[in-house]
Structure 1
Amino acid sequence: MKIQPIQNQYENEIIDLILNIQQKEFNVPVTLEDQPDLLNITNFYFEPGGIFLGAFIEEQLVGTIALVKFNQEAGAIRKMFVKKEFRGKEFGIAQKLLEQLIHFSTENGIQNLYLGTVTILKAALRFYEKNGFVTIEKETLPTDFPLMKPDNVFCHLKLQ
Structure 2
Amino acid sequence: MAVVLRPFAPGDEDAVIAVILPIQREEFGVAITAADQPDLADIPGWYQVGAGQFWLAELDGRVVGTIALKDIGGGAVALRKMFVRAEARGPGGVAQALLDGALAHARAHGVSAIWLGTTDAFKAAHRFYERNGFSLVEIADLPPAFPRMAVDTRFYRLGL
Q: After superposition, what is the alpha-carbon deviation per residue over 1:36-95, rounded to whole angstroms, capped at 9, x for unaligned?
A: 111111111012431001110111000110000110300000000000001001x61101
Q: 1: distance between equivalents of 2:88 and 2:157?
A: 26
Residues 134, 157 of structure 1: 8 Å contact kept:
yes
Does structure 1 residue 112 correspond to structure 2 residue 113?
Answer: yes
Does structure 1 residue 136 correspond to structure 2 residue 113?
Answer: no
**Which residue type is aligned with residue 25 of structure 1?**
E
Residues 51, 77 of structure 2: 8 Å contact kept:
no
Tell me which of 60, 68, 83 is aligned to 2:85. 83
Distance 1:126 1:93, change over 3 A: same
Q: After superposition, what is the alpha-carbon deviation per residue over 1:113-135, rounded to whole angstroms, capped at 9, x for unaligned?
A: 00000000000000000000000
Point out 4+ residue stretches in structure 1 off by more than 4 angstroms.
Answer: none
Does structure 1 residue 126 correspond to structure 2 residue 127?
Answer: yes
Residues 8, 40 of structure 1: 8 Å contact kept:
no
State the superposition RMSD in angstroms. 1.0
SS of structure 2 residue aligned to 1:77: strand
Unaligned runs of 5+ in 1: none
Unaligned runs of 5+ in 2: none
Residues 84, 95 of structure 2: 8 Å contact kept:
yes
TM-score by structure 2 length? 0.95
Residues 138, 155 of structure 2: 8 Å contact kept:
yes
SS of structure 2 residue aligned to 1:43: helix
- The answer to which structure has the higher helix fraction is 1
SS of structure 1 residue aligned to 2:110: coil
Equivalent residue runs for 1:40-55 within 5 Å: 40-55=42-57
Q: After superposition, what is the alpha-carbon deviation per residue over 1:97-126, rounded to whole angstroms, capped at 9, x for unaligned?
A: 101100000100110000000000000000
TM-score by structure 1 length? 0.95
Residues 8, 41 of structure 1: 8 Å contact kept:
no
Number of residue pairs matched? 158
Determine what percentage of the aligned residue pairs are the same residue: 42
